[in-house]
Structure 1
């Protein structure tokens, strides 16, 4: 029988090892309501007595309606972008998004479903401590699993819980490798990995997820970009020359007719075929507030307590929220760190040497997961949904390549809102596209994200209403 919620919380509150990490929910600076109990601070990535590398975490127990059996891990991407962005502006219990004068209660917080663990990783991200020394995703996974082991030694009440890995953007690379490492070393971690969620994920090469679909994306949203006809003609002609224009008609079929080829001579855009940057530069001329993360944004650029409200960092308030001394003290963060949303140093030494997960671990992780979810906002330009469709159709899992029937055959419906995109499920993989949402789906379409997360944990029969 499960312990009552007060008993579970009391166990953690009375846990001597956890005392130093306790955060008073009534004393978080500039938050004028009780967030409830939580725990945050730094923990090492190994038990070695001389370990200097530490990751910053913020753990929240479930709210009154949340499950006692489950734990969701969330990471942002970058690489090197802080998961405190996800906490404050996406799926944490309080929200302070772009343009808000004050923080508000997040009614679509994932803590209404489960416990949540936000971690700034890898080393070099946010408040984390130490010198980055990883060169690939396997090393990242090893360090994070080491952190999880230290976390469970402090918060032993969470041992044996159902575990879900979630994240967005470059976490589309992180999460499959982390999951693969856990599945391959099941005895190393006293958690039951059940599934994963990645949204607007980096799964393949940029030429696939940015270049091939860029001009098609412009044509779809022609009135948002507002390019003149001569420039549109230039883009469309260049797309033909670069083998982008008819790529979908030829290759993105249901079911696929074979492996999907790259459009050029390498995994990068051929000379003259970097059309994503061409579109971006032109979009900024038409709309200086153009936001690659949500293309509908226009002047004025909304202020952001984290200093990154659009395509570029823009500090309208100093210090940033998580760089305030009173905030650092409240959440046990190091005072000597100049916090920024995305790291100014390389968190991978000389870059990430791992192949994209679609070519390596992702298929097997889907096969081993009870539930596997890929979500994509349709108003995202930095990673484009049509590129994610290419990735899926080129990937073989559970005995077949790609989806066998078209994605557009199914409608994604959100409770009380109606149709809000497309959804498709085959052979253990769920794929959802969300209309009007930009790159950060839990931020830009929180109710839709909440509903999908409910399904991930098994609390709904379908992601769609």
Structure 2
């Protein structure tokens, strides 16, 4: 026991002098590293305060949120505007989307507007605001909210919208049949938003989102490009992180076994089960699929296993892996694979839905502060089907994404490498139909260049060709602005043209 007590004061890492460091020295270095990390990627950003912005339409005052009096937030987050607006100017319209708008911080641009949506389908963008890229953050494991040093409001104004209809506080009966319907409803909402906040008209617009927003964002962008007179904003480009852009069989099933082998120590499966997975992969024609077909440059459209857009019976390898991972580690998190017990607290109840009380957005005083409907129960990802008959749209990589890339100033796709729900290797296929200048897909492998973070160094890989820049970010899972805020901030700077190099 005495040896253990002595050992606990030391770290088995040699300092420059060759001796072992004490815990006091280690903690000091941790503090210094944390300070460097907080300022990296955004050295000239000042936290706190916003630029002066006023809206002349008297109706705007109905949406004003006093940043000094947000419940359970013990600092001023600055002025903002939030509430419900309809998806059209029809006086009989009952469908409304909930929004929360923040103006830019002291050095943010007044000429730009970032739009953010979460995915799902049916997951709330207020989760993105509070746990990912908003001006204050109350993320997993935090006992209380803090100022977000890497808020995207330090770049420009940001608009978080709960969409489609049926998501979060949004009101009305969902009736979207496909992504074109979602896009038309969102643009209809934006028209009503710009009538109230007319000073935002003419701004440069950047569409962004994650996960199933890989479906939303390209279709919304395509709708705006094809209907330029409908929206008084100038669309410049899009950001989608960990996005669904192709078939689930391509982005979940085919890469799953190789992903497990790459992270074998985290999954901790025994050899018997690994043999079972190899047999499943062989039966389903997944074995060697990537080696055979994921070539650079691409040699044509990739055939799907079994010539189907879905997995065959007995070939749901992803779910088999997920369920068995939970048997070994009941806290296995498909969004960030290294999580174990204890589960961190989550003020939005997503991680600890059975035990978390109260959920922040269900507090009556929170609802009143942000003009949300008090009688609506807020759920991060709704149980309501926001596509009553399922989403009939084809994946955007096969349809609108190539055109959107061509029409945009810049397009970025970002992926956290610890994400199991959508895996990075799936993009070898997801990018395959990407056509521009007579060329199909990326012409060289997507992991050929290091992604460098200012003040930090290499933080993954990136690749840029013909208007599309793709990033793979180390030490991050599915919710990339939450898990890798420094990297996300710098990537958004690039998308907006605030830095020349990816």
TM-score range, shorter chain: over 0.9
2:320 matched to 1:281? no
1:289-300 equivalences in 2 (<5 Å): 289-300=331-342
Structure 2 Cα separation of the partners of residues 353 and 153 of structure 1: 32
Counterparts of 1:21-420 in structure 2, within 5 Å, are 21-309=63-351, 314-420=353-459
Q: Indicate if the aligned counterparts of 1:253 and 1:393 stay in contact, CA closer than 8 A.
A: no
The answer to which of 125-134 and 227-236 deviates more is 227-236
Q: Secondary structure at the match of 1:167?
A: strand
Determine the C-alpha separation between the residues in 1 that align with 2:423 and 2:498. Answer: 29
Contact 1:377 1:438 (8 Å CA) reproduced: yes
Match of 1:441 among 473, 476, 480: 480
CA contact (8 A) 1:308 1:315 kept: no
Aligned residue for 1:3? none
Flag structure 2 segments of 5+ consecutive residues without an equivalent: 1-48
DSSP-derived class of the 1:439 partner: coil
**Alpha-carbon distance, 1:8 to partner:** 6.9
| Counterpart-to-counterpart distance in 1, 2:166 and 2:239 | 24
Is the 2:68–2:75 Cα contact (8 Å) retained in structure 1? yes
For structure 1, list consecutive stretches of 5 or more residues without a partner in the other structure: 1-5
Deviation string 1:247-290 (CA, Å, 9 cap, x unpaired) is: 11111111011111102231111122111011001100110000
The number of residue pairs the alignment matches comes to 454
In the alignment, the residues of structure 2 paired with residue 103 and residue 158 of structure 1 have an alpha-carbon distance, to the nearest angstrom, of: 29
8 Å Cα contact 2:164-2:182 kept in structure 1: yes
**Residues 45-93 of structure 1 deviation map (CA, whole Å, 9 limit, x = unaligned):** 0001111111000000000010111000000000000000100000000
1:430 pairs with 469, 472, 486, which one?
469
Please state how far the C-alpha of 1:435 moved relative to its aligned partner. 1.0
**CA 1:54/1:329 → structure 2, altered by over 3 Å: closer, same or farther?**
same
Conservation of the 8 A alpha-carbon contact between 2:50 and 2:78: no
Whole-angstrom distance in 1 between the partners of 2:448 and 2:438 = 22
The Cα offsets for residues 155-210 of structure 1, whole Å up to 9 and x where unpaired, read as 01100000000000000000000000000000110000000000000111110000
- Specify the SS of the correspondent of 2:307: coil
Report the Cα offset of residue 16 of structure 1.
Answer: 1.5
Using the TM superposition, give the Cα deviation of residue 315 of structure 1 relative to its aligned residue in structure 2, in angstroms.
Answer: 3.8
CA contact (8 A) 2:51 2:103 kept: no
Change (3 A) 1:278 1:338: same
CA distance in 2, matches of 1:298, 1:181: 42
Match of 1:9 in 2: 52
RMSD between aligned residues: 1.3
Tell me how far apart the structure 1 counterparts of residues 177 and 300 of structure 2 sit (CA, whole Å): 33
What is the CA–CA distance in structure 2 between the aligned matches of 1:19 and 1:43, rounded to whole Å?
14
Alignment partner of 2:462: what SS? strand
